Amino acid sequence: MDTIKAVFDYTLREHVRSRAWLSAALFGLVLLGAGAIASVLAVNERGRMVLDLGLAAILAIGLVSMVFLTVRLVLQEIESRAVFLILTHPVRRWHYLLGRFFGTLAAVAIGMAGMGLVHWLLLEAFGWAPAGSYALAWVSILGQVALMGALALLLSLALTSEAAAMAFSVFFWVLGHFTPELRYIAERSGSGPLRGLILAFARAAPDFSRLDYAGARHAGTPAAWAAWAVLYVLAYGTACLALSAELFEQKEF
């Protein structure tokens, strides 16, 4: 655990000091402001629009940062040979991998928390505080970002190319929102084997549409949903990290 924490601390410091991280957070704040200005067009639904556009900005910035950082996380250290230096110390490979992943997630979460705080203060200041739980909406976004990060890490180690890993990450993100359509197609499919194949494909992809509390918030999703969503993110994320650890163990430097 100590080695995981040491790598975690070093990764978190590295990201927080980087200009890219600061730029992303600042760009996110600009997006929040732009959303507030654009909301004038929504007339009676201004509060709703500021809320939705703000959450969308937090998701977009969090997601892009997480995928970009995670895909480069290990590959860049392998390319620059910095990983040799670290692994000559008594650090297990999977400890290194987990420390790097959670350090990155923490850095992205800090940026998202900053954006979330500014967004919430903006909503409070104008009396547009959401009817549902804002914190739960924010946590659901963090869950999606964490899950996507775990998947991006796995893809980066499996594909060993940054461009391919990023392209496949985008593919899985879109596929994760396409699962309701896949189920719809499966229901209307006349062939049993084809239906099974489509459903298996839909289950294998992370189902982000079911984790989207921000989208479902207006409809008052039941609180029990949150517990199942957390379990789903933990289980799917652990599966990705376990495979990533195994791939990293197999790598020959």
Partner 1 sequence: MPAARALAVFALSAVVAVAVDGPLGRLSRRFPPLTELPATPFCAQDAALVELGFRAAAADLAWVQMLEYMGNGLPQLPDAPGHPYAHIAVLASRIVSLDPSFHRAYLYGASVLGWFPQVARPEQAVALLQEGLRRDPGQRLYLLYIAALAYKKEGDVPKMIALLDSTLKDPGTPTLMKEILANLYKSQGRYAKALEIWRDILDDPAAASDHPRARLQIEEIRALEAAGRGS
List of residues contacting partner 1 (CB under 8 A): 41-46, 48-49, 52-53, 55-56, 59-60, 63, 92-94, 144, 173-174, 176-178, 180-181, 184, 203, 207-210, 212, 214-222, 224-225, 228-229, 231-232, 235-236, 238-239, 242-243, 245-246, 249-250
Please report how close the Cβ of residue 201 comes to partner 1 at its closest, in angstroms. Answer: 13
> What is the distance between the alpha carbons of residues 22 and 113, in angstroms, rounded to a whole number?
13
Closest CB to partner 1 among residues 16, 60: 60
Which of 226, 70, 55 is closest to 148 using CA atoms?
A: 70
Please report how close the Cβ of residue 75 comes to partner 1 at its closest, in angstroms. Answer: 20
Please report how close the Cβ of residue 51 comes to partner 1 at its closest, in angstroms. Answer: 8
Please report how close the Cβ of residue 211 comes to partner 1 at its closest, in angstroms. Answer: 8
Closest CB to partner 1 among residues 15, 153: 153
Closest CB to partner 1 among residues 15, 97: 97
Closest CB to partner 1 among residues 79, 249: 249
What 3-state DSSP class applies to 128? coil
Which of 15, 7, 1 is closest to 89 using CA atoms?
A: 7
Give the pair of three-digit tokens for residue 95: 């400890």
Cβ atoms within 10 Å, residue 27: 16
**Angle of helix 224-250 versus helix 134-159 axis, rounded to 10:** 20
CA dihedral 214, 220, 223, 225 (to 10 degrees): -60
Give the pair of three-digit tokens for residue 143: 């869950």
The residue type at 114: G
Closest CB to partner 1 among residues 13, 203: 203
Give the pair of three-digit tokens for residue 94: 């999977």
Closest CB to partner 1 among residues 133, 209: 209
Please report how close the Cβ of residue 93 comes to partner 1 at its closest, in angstroms. Answer: 8
> What is the distance between the alpha carbons of residues 49 and 35, in angstroms, rounded to a whole number?
8
> What is the distance between the alpha carbons of residues 96 and 5, in angstroms, rounded to a whole number?
9
Please report how close the Cβ of residue 185 comes to partner 1 at its closest, in angstroms. Answer: 9
